Structure 1
């Protein structure tokens, strides 16, 4: 015996309740439509700031491409590749004036892009992440959405999906463009080194990871505090603290490379090496610094012999550590962003069911 769909005094029959299957109308189709509607609504609500973000990223990427061409032409013309202001490389002899002129012409542009990529995650957290949910909760407009067929978790997922996709796309384009630019004029020529605060935060996966963290931090704080302006202020402080903590942790993400050289020999450390420490080694392997020696103004060589110094050491992160450090830190940052996002869903479930 089969059930037929009839509309009569008692309403729809069983088949109408379960859906037809031929035209895709039913519970399963209705379950997908509200999510698409919530995604569309999120884009409509935030299309101005998301559009500015995407357009700004595209314009900055084009500027990086143009700047790279100009910098590459200058470096090739003056044979400056790998040369710094003070260099012992024979082929760089006589290029100091050209390096100074290059930095005067292009260093400010590089610093501007680095500064923008370093500040962008915090700006995303403050102006996009924090108001994303806090404004809805503060004004009460979330109640209208939640009375529809969209549940609170699906609503939060839709609210996060569109900004996260735009943030990922914009910061990825910017990071790739600047990394391509930095390959030409970074490190020695421009004096913009990979281990500097601005340099590390603007290269490779690092700015992308921090941008996603900024969005997650702002969203969670907005969900907890439910006040837009307060959430923006707390997000600003939280991002400053988190970036500072990761900066302190960075040097310990990989073991340093130790280089030993003779006791009385002066060695020029490459500008691209991130120096972590240096001093003297005794015959027993003990490490001494200038403070430990207390040689004063006397015979320095005699002082070294008196303390049993046999060689010097230098702890460093060479340039080969750049990308491993970047990927490790980016992975930790993304993991933290994911954990905060999961916690935000737990908060939403606890408060709104």
Structure 2
């Protein structure tokens, strides 16, 4: 009797232990809809994660090479002459390559995210299950956005760290251009999310993977073009004037690293005229033209580099607001018309 009782007790204890261990194992894994979405797109997610890790590793190596050079000129307090032999080509190349990432990720991950399920019929299978369409859509968008944010944030932080010691110098890359502005701070995260979610919406509407990828490519290019035109309007223009004439040595000195938006002639009455208005065949004729217009100096409009961070956050907020609007459209449309 006692033996049987002991055995039963031991069996119960072992069974409880097995259930506990199994419960612990399940607790460490994705479950439900999150697991389904991850498993379905794990190849794309892991590709992004591995690519981001490799990119960060390359950036860390390149920065170490740059710092080794700058140490010879007293970094962080750089002495004059460091720009003479500085090789900014790795930074420039990295900036150009990273600029393609929002487009590529939007085309190869965003566009097929829903279009593939709609084209293959997987969406109908999911719709037949107990999980709602809204839950499926939000999980798809949420998991994908999380992976994209992690990857783009890591790359952006690494690139910003690499570029920061020489950011104010044009010997590296221009902060106002796409290579610098669009690959540092919050901008690459926001641009990539907008392209991704836009691709998801396009795929949901077109329901064909290849067609959706082509249209998303066009959408991503348009986003880049509009953004490049809009980018510098985020800053506050500062106007610097001088009244020392327009001869040699009279051009006003703008702060280091400033983006010059425009330069004009300043007249005695305070009006501004374009520098092309007195481009004559001879120097004497040009001088006569300037005297006739009563030109007394220069007017320079510029944006200091100190505004870069605030411009990036303002631009990122606008891009994220657009992304949220498109995501809301995807969920509201998909709730009733997805299948």
TM-based fold match above 0.5: yes
Query: SS in structure 1 opposite 2:57?
Result: helix
Q: Which residue of 2 aligns with 1:286?
A: 271
TM-score (normalizing by structure 1): 0.81
Does residue 75 of structure 1 match 2:70? yes
8 A Cα contact 2:59 2:159, kept in partner:
yes
8 A Cα contact 1:279 1:289, kept in partner:
yes
TM-score (normalizing by structure 2): 0.84
Does residue 327 of structure 1 match 2:309? no
Residue among 246, 250, 262 paired with 2:227: 246
Q: Which residue of 1 aligns with 2:9?
A: none
Query: SS in structure 1 opposite 2:257?
Result: coil
Bigger mean CA offset, 154-163 vs 114-123:
114-123
Bigger mean CA offset, 293-302 vs 323-332:
293-302
Q: How far off its partner does 1:48 sit? A: 1.1
Superposed, 1:37-52 pairs within 5 Å as: 37-52=32-47
Superposed, 1:138-157 pairs within 5 Å as: 138-157=119-138
Q: Which residue of 1 aligns with 2:157?
A: 176
Distance 2:124 2:154 in 1: 37
Q: How far off its partner does 1:196 sit? A: 1.4
Q: Which residue of 1 aligns with 2:102?
A: 121
Q: How far off its partner does 1:186 sit? A: 3.3
8 A Cα contact 1:82 1:189, kept in partner:
no
Alpha-carbon RMSD across the aligned residues, in angstroms, is 2.1
8 A Cα contact 1:118 1:198, kept in partner:
yes
Q: Which residue of 2 aligns with 1:276?
A: 261
Q: How far off its partner does 1:189 sit? A: 6.2
Gaps in structure 2 of 5+ consecutive residues = 1-29
Q: How far off its partner does 1:198 sit? A: 1.6
8 A Cα contact 2:170 2:257, kept in partner:
no
Distance 2:166 2:283 in 1: 44
Q: How far off its partner does 1:133 sit? A: 0.4
Does residue 258 of structure 1 match 2:242? no
Gaps in structure 1 of 5+ consecutive residues = 1-34, 84-90
Distance 1:78 1:257 in 2: 32
Q: How far off its partner does 1:276 sit? A: 1.0
Q: Which residue of 1 aligns with 2:86?
A: 102
Q: Which residue of 2 aligns with 1:191?
A: 172
